Structure 1
Amino acid sequence: MLTATADLAPTSPHALVIGSGFGGLAAAVRLGARGYRVTVLEKLDAPGGRAYVHRQDGFTFDAGPTVITAPFLFEELWALCGRRLADDVDLRPVAPFYRVRFDDGTVFDYSGDAAAMRAEVAKLAPDDVAGYERFLAASEAIYKVGFEQLGHVSFERWTDMARVLPDLLKLEGYRTVYGLACKHVRDEKLRVVLTFQSLLVGGNPFSTTSVYCLIAFLERRFGVHFAMGGTGSLVRGLVGLIEGQGGRVLCGRGVEEILVEDGAACGVRLATGERLAADVVVSNADSAWTYKHLLPARYRRRWTDKRIAKARYSMSLFVWYFGTRRQYPDVAHHTIALGPRYRGLLDDIFTHKHLADDFSLYLHRPTATDPSLAPAGCDTFYVLAPVPHLDAGVDWRERAEPYRAALARRLSETLLPGLEQEIVSSLLLTPQDFQDRLSSYKGAAFALEPVLTQSAWFRPHNRSEEVERLYLVGAGTHPGAGLPGVLSSARVLDAIVPHGRELPRRAHPAPDEEGPHHVRPTPGLIA
């Protein structure tokens, strides 16, 4: 039985948030600070979405985001609740940001130290030091426009896009990430070092708009951090903020449909059949999934099934979480282990939808910073391989274990000697799981691919174009994927969702669509 809690003002408007990923949790905090009673609905048994935490055999595995940048976006959320982030979460800087290992064994330590970076560039490509500095200056210019000025702005009209086009042209946003790197540096390895970050937000550097080159300056300015206890400590901290505001995070409550009355969202229907009423609905579910599976087709004019199917989606991921009985102290917190191909592999993943035999990997060793995430004398890892989304037609029930074994052999030959004999805990996440467990359309790990024609106004809007009082946050809306992106999508709500005291309460609960009349409130209906 779900009823309003005593500490919530019954006259305050009610907001339902679908999904408890970082976008949904940040949206809930912001709505709570703006006078809403907030209920977050999560279909899994614990909050976090892609930031779910797995605990197994004494190991703690963060399921998803592990690179924390722009910590001020978290600090804003704590400040809205009259608290300090440091009161609840211990963020530690990571150095180097990434250790990049090329297939031939060449190593590049990517950090925020200007002198150290110049030295690393000089060692790798001595003729490109000046070009690297020019690239970083271009990244800073893009950051100041693309992130500081536009990252929290809602692109609701085409004129909003037209207004920023001169700036985008001046900053060469028509180039790709790789194209901008090529303008400034000649060495192929350095070009890889300056462009792989777009893959961390689901973008192919050979097709993603160069606006995403802002990541280089974002990391230089604010650093790369890790939350002690794992990324899940940030999730727990946000849940605590929401509950402190009088809101609730309810797990095991999957949403089947967004209910609409008189052209406006008015609640949701759960998988159990229960109907919950709301004055506003915010979906942190994947935007394509929201429109295709949660909002009935009769309410959609722009995001039709045909348009959703024709859009371009990011790659998916194969993630293997594992614990070892020994430690590997020479392995950095974040390692990018590149394979023999760069562009060819990305063509296979994004264009040909082909699962190649070779791979490039991201290896995460959180115990490099926080040994408590593994039993004494052990290490916690996950290794992530970008792979095609489900349009590739791969049967992951058959391919998962052979693919995992191939990753284990590769790691054993390179970064983790003897790995196959040291594994004591193992867990897999495949593209099929991204669809079935995380409700990601086509199993795409980062929603829509961040090409120019699917950015800003061209992306699903933060204020739904289809029905009133429905809002979208998360990777599939503006500004895009990555923790700074999804947290910024929640910032957009401050400008487009009316303050709670300004929003008239609904006169009726959610309608019973099986009959022509409104149902009377029941114990299972939140008003």
Structure 2
Amino acid sequence: MEHDRNAPPASHAIVIGAGLGGLAAAMRLGARGWRVTVLDRLDCVGGRGSAIEVEGHRFDLGPTIVTVPQVFRELWAACGRDFDRDIELTSLDPFYELRWPDGSKFAARRDEGDMRAEIARLSPQDAKGYDRFLRDAEDRYSFGFEDLGRRPMHRFADLLKVLPTFVRLRADRSVVAHAKRRFRDPRLQMAFSFHPLFIGGDPFRVTSMYILVSHLERAFGVHYAKGGVVAIAQAMAQVIRDQGGTVRLDAEVDEITTEGNRATGVRLADGTHLPAAAVVSNADAGHTYDRLLRNRPRRRWTTRKLARSRWSMGLFVWYFGTKGTAGDWADVGHHTILNGPRYSGLVRDIFRRGKLAPDMSIYLHRPSITDPTVAPEGGDTFYALSPVPHLGGADPVDWETEAPRYRDAMAAELDKAIPGFRDRMTASHIMTPVDFRDRYLSPNGAGFSLEPRILQSAWFRPHNVSEELDGLWLVGAGTHPGAGLPGVISSAEVLDKLVPDAPQAAPRPGPQRMAAE
């Protein structure tokens, strides 16, 4: 068998997956003295945050915004680097505009005065409710993000310690239920409750802890990275190489190898075995346990348990470019959310009925208005995203048949916001849940791994230190603290508190670190 000659196994760590969580984990391990090899089956870094080019248009395939730049700055600082020297961020204002079928609009802004003006324009009676909602969101941010989301949650005792705070903050109440207690206008109820959809959650079912996103937006703003999120991924890969690590693309991991109850490395799809003292999986937690550990008995994350788990919705994403439109559609900014006629009914169809509804809501991304380099001169680059059922239902959608129909229905809706775009369209690319399953090895083609319900969060989520195998750790959307850029980057911060320094490396200065159990 061929072995990796770049590092002795005693100090060699393997990271499975070059998504943002895996790259962040590799950076932190490299800063701790580990010689790291990152493996990814794709031909580019970034995972869901990767990009493709079609006819001169760069399409960011996944996340489009940076909401908490501090997590990246802290990650770079841990490696002795300056994030702002590598990445240029542009602050967006408004963050996004929501539109409803009746013609009404709501622009989310960072300035509280601007936000109050927007609320007063739609519903003057809801001004006081907005102030209370902001206080609620800040409380949940302090606990849910700065505390709970940045420390390990793999011991049951960790859960017991935080239960009183969960009770005090009414974590049992859904995001929508909480918004309804603060706003009377249905449009504002939607505007302050839809955010869980950005991380794969049903706003009518996920815990109200996720209203913390409203505080994130107000406190840190909403930013665009020049070059797209893939530019961040590429910069992360360069840091890893500068640390002496290796990023290997077109290298698919088929299995995590073991000896006794310990991970010993990985076996690639071509049969190559790579030994390692530490293995970190940035693959989906479901794929990690059900595929990469398929030949081992599992105590907690069995095939049956994973099949019974609640997975996030799927995504239908249409990427397209237009020519000669740079000055057109002046009222369409960087981010626009086009709401359909239903909110609760559509969400119910997607998450509970597994039904492809005739109506839809669309997130329209137009990065070319901020970053002209994403399109040929004078053109525009767009992506239009609509939540749809994942593939795990009793009667999954046949996307081979439905994709062209759904695209045409989406085009009819988009024509209301960007009229005539089809006549100016050049490049076009579509991804459905089938592509998420095949490209990212995402169970059920889910867009964001496990749904972030209260009983699938914190201790209940797959742990950062594996419950099944010593020497195996997990990062990314499917583990604690969850999906979204801040979540996956924070999962590497949690990992940093669990993995010991490399065997021959002197511990770096700072607080004593907790070894994984």
Q: TM-score, normalised by structure 1?
A: 0.93
1:457 paired residue number: 459
2:118 paired residue number: 120
Which structure 2 residues correspond to residues 182-201 of structure 1 after superposition, within 5 A?
182-201=180-199
Tell me by how many angstroms 1:487 deviates.
0.6
Tell me by how many angstroms 1:248 deviates.
1.0
1:507 paired residue number: none
Provide the C-alpha distance between the structure 2 equivalents of 1:80 and 1:152, rounded to a whole number of angstroms.
15
1:435 paired residue number: 437
Contact 1:409-1:420 within 8 A present in 2 as well: no
Provide the C-alpha distance between the structure 1 equivalents of 2:32 and 2:10, rounded to a whole number of angstroms.
10
Tell me by how many angstroms 1:502 deviates.
7.1
Tell me by how many angstroms 1:83 deviates.
1.8
Query: Structure 1 pair 12/275, CA: closer, same or farther in 2 (3 Å)?
Result: closer
Tell me by how many angstroms 1:171 deviates.
1.0
Contact 2:3-2:273 within 8 A present in 1 as well: no
Which structure 2 residues correspond to residues 323-472 of structure 1 after superposition, within 5 A?
323-325=321-323, 326-327=325-326, 328-392=329-393, 393-412=396-415, 414-472=416-474
Deviations 1:358-413 (A, max 9, x none): 0001000001110111011100000000000002411111111111111111101x
Tell me by how many angstroms 1:81 deviates.
2.5
Deviations 1:294-351 (A, max 9, x none): 1125331111110000000110100010001123332110111100000000000000
1:521 paired residue number: none
2:514 paired residue number: none
1:509 paired residue number: none
Query: Structure 1 pair 502/175, CA: closer, same or farther in 2 (3 Å)?
Result: farther
Runs of at least 4 residues of structure 1 off by over 4 A?
none
Give secondary structure in 1 for the equivalent of 2:321: strand
Give secondary structure in 1 for the equivalent of 2:381: strand
Deviations 1:207-253 (A, max 9, x none): 01011111110111111000111111101110111011011111000
Contact 1:299-1:467 within 8 A present in 2 as well: no
Provide the C-alpha distance between the structure 2 equivalents of 1:298 and 1:60, rounded to a whole number of angstroms.
42
Provide the C-alpha distance between the structure 2 equivalents of 1:196 and 1:502, rounded to a whole number of angstroms.
48
Which structure 2 residues correspond to residues 31-110 of structure 1 after superposition, within 5 A?
31-110=29-108
Deviations 1:267-295 (A, max 9, x none): 11111111110101000011011111111
Provide the C-alpha distance between the structure 2 equivalents of 1:174 and 1:499, rounded to a whole number of angstroms.
39
| Identity between Structure 1 and Structure 2 (%) | 51
Provide the C-alpha distance between the structure 2 equivalents of 1:4 and 1:121, rounded to a whole number of angstroms.
61
Gapped regions of structure 2 (runs ≥ 5): 507-517
Provide the C-alpha distance between the structure 2 equivalents of 1:297 and 1:262, rounded to a whole number of angstroms.
13
Contact 2:3-2:275 within 8 A present in 1 as well: no
Which range moved further: 472-481 or 289-298? 289-298
Provide the C-alpha distance between the structure 2 equivalents of 1:120 and 1:390, rounded to a whole number of angstroms.
39
Give secondary structure in 2 for the equivalent of 1:496: coil
Query: Structure 1 pair 135/42, CA: closer, same or farther in 2 (3 Å)?
Result: same
1:491 paired residue number: 493
Q: 1:396 is aligned with what amino acid?
A: W
Query: Structure 1 pair 404/111, CA: closer, same or farther in 2 (3 Å)?
Result: same
Give secondary structure in 2 for the equivalent of 1:241: helix
Provide the C-alpha distance between the structure 1 equivalents of 2:460 and 2:430, rounded to a whole number of angstroms.
34
Provide the C-alpha distance between the structure 2 equivalents of 1:3 and 1:484, rounded to a whole number of angstroms.
32
Q: 1:288 is aligned with what amino acid?
A: G
1:523 paired residue number: none
Give secondary structure in 2 for the equivalent of 1:312: coil
Give secondary structure in 2 for the equivalent of 1:417: coil
Q: 1:347 is aligned with what amino acid?
A: R
Q: TM-score, normalised by structure 2?
A: 0.95
Provide the C-alpha distance between the structure 2 equivalents of 1:411 and 1:32, rounded to a whole number of angstroms.
45
Structure 1 residue corresponding to 2:320, chosen from 319, 322, 341: 322
Contact 2:27-2:236 within 8 A present in 1 as well: yes
2:155 paired residue number: 157
Gapped regions of structure 1 (runs ≥ 5): 505-527
Contact 1:48-1:235 within 8 A present in 2 as well: yes
1:501 paired residue number: 503
Provide the C-alpha distance between the structure 1 equivalents of 2:460 and 2:56, rounded to a whole number of angstroms.
45
Provide the C-alpha distance between the structure 1 equivalents of 2:339 and 2:242, rounded to a whole number of angstroms.
44
The number of equivalent residue pairs is 500
Q: 1:358 is aligned with what amino acid?
A: D
Give secondary structure in 2 for the equivalent of 1:276: strand
Provide the C-alpha distance between the structure 2 equivalents of 1:298 and 1:40, rounded to a whole number of angstroms.
23
Structure 2 residue corresponding to 1:30, chosen from 18, 28, 31: 28
Give secondary structure in 1 for the equivalent of 2:440: coil
Which structure 2 residues correspond to residues 237-316 of structure 1 after superposition, within 5 A?
237-316=235-314
Give secondary structure in 1 for the equivalent of 2:110: coil
Provide the C-alpha distance between the structure 1 equivalents of 2:282 and 2:91, rounded to a whole number of angstroms.
28
Which structure 2 residues correspond to residues 168-247 of structure 1 after superposition, within 5 A?
168-247=166-245
Tell me by how many angstroms 1:162 deviates.
1.0
Give secondary structure in 2 for the equivalent of 1:281: strand
